[in-house]
Amino acid sequence: MAYTDRVKQILSWYPSDNPGTLTNLARLLNTGTLAGTGKMVILPVDQGFEHGPARSFAPNPAGYDPDYHIQLAIDSGCNAYAAPLGFLESVAGKYAGEIPLILKLNNSDTLGKPEHPMSAVTGSVKDAVRLGCVAIGYTIYPGSGYRNEQYEALRDLIAEAKDHGLPTVLWAYPRGSISKEGEQAIDVISYAAQISAQLGAHVIKVKPPKDFLEQAEAKKVYEKFNIPTKTMSDRIRDVVKSAFNGKRIVIFSGGESKTTEDLLEEIRQIAAGGGFGSIMGRNAFQRPHDESVKLLKDVMNIFKNAK
């Protein structure tokens, strides 16, 4: 395994975790093209649950098949593949050990309309253990009227996961009592990263922030201390700093599908700003296979060459 000084340094930031949890965190960092670099690219496929199958898979119908995605993650050299229970059930026994798996424990569909943003917990830590996963995944909606319930359920899941040697990857999507634009405001994204780290997440996934400040109190501080937010790399730097001064792994989603060049430029900025990697779903699996493999490899190259 690619066991580098950088990986050892990253593991040293989690001094209170048991060796089992550190071992699985190391597996995440030591797999695929980016093994040993301290960077990671993860393929997540939860859109079938979140947006429905047609919106998710019609652009590249091969994606209706659960085998397609794990094979795509392997082919492109990803660090891990993340999905809800059903997708993992359909592949874990067949691909046992070929690539680290992350079980997304909660998921939200767009058929129901909860009073406040809220996912259902559709998998368990025991499922993750049984399926041979290296981590659990969980989504919080900071700003939601139900955020406390989400944080409290997460607390128990993190504790149970640690008991079984599993670290936690936390998806943090500010949503609810926040303006639409504010959901990706730099102050809000950085705040979400801080909350995620304080809740005990090992890896934090947020959206790339925009040059916008949502909260009046925060705006004053950003302006007073001249915290730069103009370029994407400026903002990435602020988010990473907000996650324990870079001592928690923060990775960024690609967000909505866009042109390849726009996407790669965004990745360059994320890498320049010190982002630890990308979690790229739709932008990958909705393209034809070879195109998405090429895209993911281009993304990995950018992170590999970042200083």
Residues 229-288 close enough to bind its own copies by CB under 8 A: 238, 241-242, 244-245, 247-248
Nearer to its own copies, 174 or 277 (CB): 174
Identified binder of its own copies from the candidate list 6, 222, 268, 297, rule CB under 8 A: 222
Per annotation, catalytic residue among 81, 138, 141, 173:
173
- Considering 162, 205, 207, 210, which one is annotated as catalytic? 205
Length of the chain: 307
- Enter the tokens of residue 226: 């001249």
Least CB distance from residue 9 to its own copies, whole Å? 13
184: which DSSP letter? G
Candidates 6, 77, 151, 257; binder of its own copies (CB under 8 A) is: 151
Q: Is 173 in the site for its own copies (CB under 8 A)?
A: no
Q: Alpha-carbon distance 16 to 14, whole Å?
A: 6
> What is the rounded distance in angstroms from the CA atom of residue 51 to the CA atom of residue 256?
12
Please give the residues from 18 up to 47 whose contact with its own copies meets the rule CB under 8 A: 18-27, 30-31
Q: Note whether 118 binds its own copies by CB under 8 A.
A: yes
**Beta strands in 141-199, from DSSP E residues, in sequence order:** 168-172
72 three-class SS: helix
Q: What is the largest CA-CA distance in the chain?
A: 56
Among 179, 181, 221, 258, binds its own copies (CB under 8 A): 221
- State the CB neighbour count (10 A cutoff) for residue 145: 14
Rounded distance, CA 235 to CA 179, Å?
Answer: 19
Residue type, 119: S
**Smallest gap, in angstroms, from Cβ of residue 211 to its own copies?**
14
Q: Is 84 in the site for its own copies (CB under 8 A)?
A: yes
Only segment of 182-190, 254-262, 270-278, 288-296 that touches its own copies (CB under 8 A)? 182-190
Q: Does 94 bind its own copies (CB under 8 A)?
A: yes
| Tokens encoding 26 | 């190391």
The nearest distance, CB 265 to its own copies, in angstroms, is 26
- The full DSSP string for 110-150 is SSS--SS---EE---HHHHHHTT-SEEEEEE-TTSTTHHHH
Residue 274 main-chain phi, psi, to 5 deg? 95, 10
229 touches 218 (CB < 8 A): no
Q: Is 129 in the site for its own copies (CB under 8 A)?
A: yes
The stretch near its own copies (CB under 8 A) out of 198-206, 255-263, 276-284, 291-299 is 198-206
Catalytic site residue 258? no
Q: Is 210 a catalytic residue?
A: no
Q: Is 122 in the site for its own copies (CB under 8 A)?
A: yes
Residue 91 or 300 with smaller CB distance to its own copies: 91
Exposure class string for 280-306: b at 16+ Cβ within 10 A, else e: bbbbbbbbebeebbebbbebbebbeeb
| 16 interacts with its own copies by CB under 8 A | yes
User: Residue 68 and residue 66: Cα distance in Å, rounded?
Assistant: 5
Residue 291 binds its own copies (CB under 8 A): no
Choice from 14, 272, 297, 298 touching its own copies (CB under 8 A): 14
- Residue of 5, 225, 256, 290 that binds its own copies (CB under 8 A): 225
Give yes or no for residue 121 binding its own copies (CB under 8 A).
yes
Dihedral sign, Cα of residue 52, residue 63, residue 89, residue 207: negative
Please report how close the Cβ of residue 304 comes to its own copies at its closest, in angstroms: 19
Instruction: Report, as residue numbers or ranges, the catalytic residues.
Output: 173, 205
